[in-house]
Chains A and B, each alone.
Chain A
Amino acid sequence: MDRLHEELKELKRRVIKMGELAKEMLWNSVEALKKQDIELAEKVISRKKKLADMDAEIEEKALQLVALYHPMAKDMRTVACILKAITYLTRIGRYGKDIANIAKELSNKPHVAKLVEIPYMADIACRMIDDVLKAFETEDVSLIKDFEERDDSLDALRWSIFRECITYMMENPSTITRCAHYMMIARYLERCGDHACKIAEKVHYMVTGERIEIK
């Protein structure tokens, strides 16, 4: 393997590590919310800097590869995919941090009801992140072919949480603060699904050269 391909392989490995960190932040933030675990929430928040550092390092390395090796065709598409993917992964990780902040705020009072749909949304979003990272690693685009349906499920769950929260808030105004937070979290998780879809589009472009749109 020549130097460019060695370096690209290493860069891809770093993107996957970054993706795993972003996913872990998202997953643990919802765990912290569910279990009202302040320590875990703090841990998620503390990972923010590491995520930002990885984003900056990967971007710098990718630009260096362009400057030094003038990658073409699939190599160029890989660099383009990486540069976009790390932005989406950063946003996913930062949503994890935002949810962790809410988890801290909501840790001193019991939840309005048993949290079911929020963890379910987190599960769908995290599986999408897992699969898109796997597709990026293995170049198997069949792993992302049902992303549109999965994204639809996230949208539906978000609206379901919204309606449920409205009901609680109308029944009992003292739940308003907490319900407003739940609605925000549902929105964040839905956005994480959107970001996973955007990464999937870039991975598809990287592998095939064809641009697709996951609606």
Chain B
Amino acid sequence: MKTRYAIETENLRIYYGENEVIKGINLKIPQNTVFALMGPSGCGKSTLLRAFNRLLELNKDARVEGKVMIFGKNIYADDVNPIDVRREVGMVFQYPNPFPHLTIYDNVAMGLKLNHLVRSKKEMDKRVRWALEKSSLWNEVKDRLEDYPSSLSGGQKQRLVIARALALKPKILLMDEPTANIDPMGTKNIESLLFELKKDYTIVLVTHEPAQAARVSDYVGFLYLGKLVEVGPTGEIFEKPKHELTEKYVTGVLV
């Protein structure tokens, strides 16, 4: 089925044990956009994000009801392998987490090796370079690919992790507060990178910082206590939100 949406959810509910944390969400994320999920701590943003690539089921307490469609296909259908889903829908976490014992090169190459996606060293070199170029890191590391990630700054580490995700050629990138632990310059680099990446990918960004959502996203979804309060084009959400709760959140008076 053809769709112009990268991700669609239908009455998505997520439980941790008896506790319902995502309460019936219907959401459509258009392709090749940056979609920001915004909301206060504990509102369910990261949980929702983890439902988009079935990472959630690594938590035994978690239970998902409803549908999540990636390019029109329900990823929770019985015949779907979660490993395939995660290859198509990459993830970048809050703390830059490159493998510390692997070189910069191997960090990017690891996923490709494990999945047997490339056949020759030449092909591997090409793909590693492509991924590092895509994540705007190539020029900074091309002469020290055999160094360990400990020699990189926080922002560079995060771009290395993005390169690692991109190497698998996903269609969607999920990012969970990717700049929360990065200095302003590193944040700026990653935000510029998002602009570049959305030409080829759909990006879902979780942030608790409204200013970041305003700077980088095309659409914003405001999540509060497990419910999607409002979704809309970024300009509208920050200029004249329709819902009082959104207004309170973006003006910083939501307690």
B116, CB-defined interface residue at 8 Å:
no
Q: How far is the CB of A203 from chain B (nearest CB, A)?
A: 15
Do A77 and B252 touch (CB < 8 A)? no
Chain A residues lying within 8 Å of B60, measured Cβ to Cβ, are none
State how many angstroms separate the Cβ of A200 from the closest Cβ of chain B.
18
Tell me whether B253 and A73 are in contact (CB under 8 A): no
| Cα–Cα, bound, A76→B235 (Å) | 12
Q: In the docked arrangement, what's the CA distance between A13 and B211, Å? A: 27
| Interface presence of A184 (CB below 8 A) | no
* Interface band, chain A: 10 to 19
B240 and A209 form a contact (CB under 8 A) = yes
Asked whether any CB of chain B lies closer than 8 Å to the CB of A9, the reply is no
Give the residues in chain B near A5, CB-CB below 8 Å.
Answer: 253
Q: How far is the CA of A5 from the CA of B253 in the complex (A)?
A: 9
- Asked whether B247 lies within 8 Å of A74 as measured between CB atoms, the reply is yes
- List the A side residues contacting B240 at CB < 8 Å: 73, 77, 209-210
Q: Indicate if B39 sits at the interface (CB-CB under 8 A).
A: no
A70 within 8 A of partner (CB): yes
Query: Does B251 lie within 8 Å of A74, measured CB to CB?
Result: yes
| Cβ B250 vs Cβ A72 within 8 A | yes
- CB under 8 Å from chain B, chain A span 68-102: 70-77
Contact assessment for A73 and B211 in the assembled complex, using a CB-CB cutoff below 8 Å = no
Instruction: Report A212 CB to chain B, min CB distance, Å.
Output: 13
Chain A residues proximal to chain B, CB less than 8 Å: 2, 4-5, 70-77, 209-210
Jot down 8 A-B pairs with beta carbons below 8 A, ordered by A. Answer: A2-B252, A4-B252, A70-B211, A73-B238, A73-B239, A73-B247, A74-B251, A77-B240
Nearest 4 A/B pairs, CB to CB: A209-B240, A72-B250, A73-B250, A72-B238
16 other A-B residue contacts (CB within 8 Å) besides A73-B251, A209-B239: A2-B253, A70-B211, A70-B214, A72-B210, A72-B238, A72-B250, A72-B251, A73-B239, A73-B240, A73-B241, A73-B246, A73-B250, A74-B251, A75-B251, A209-B240, A210-B240
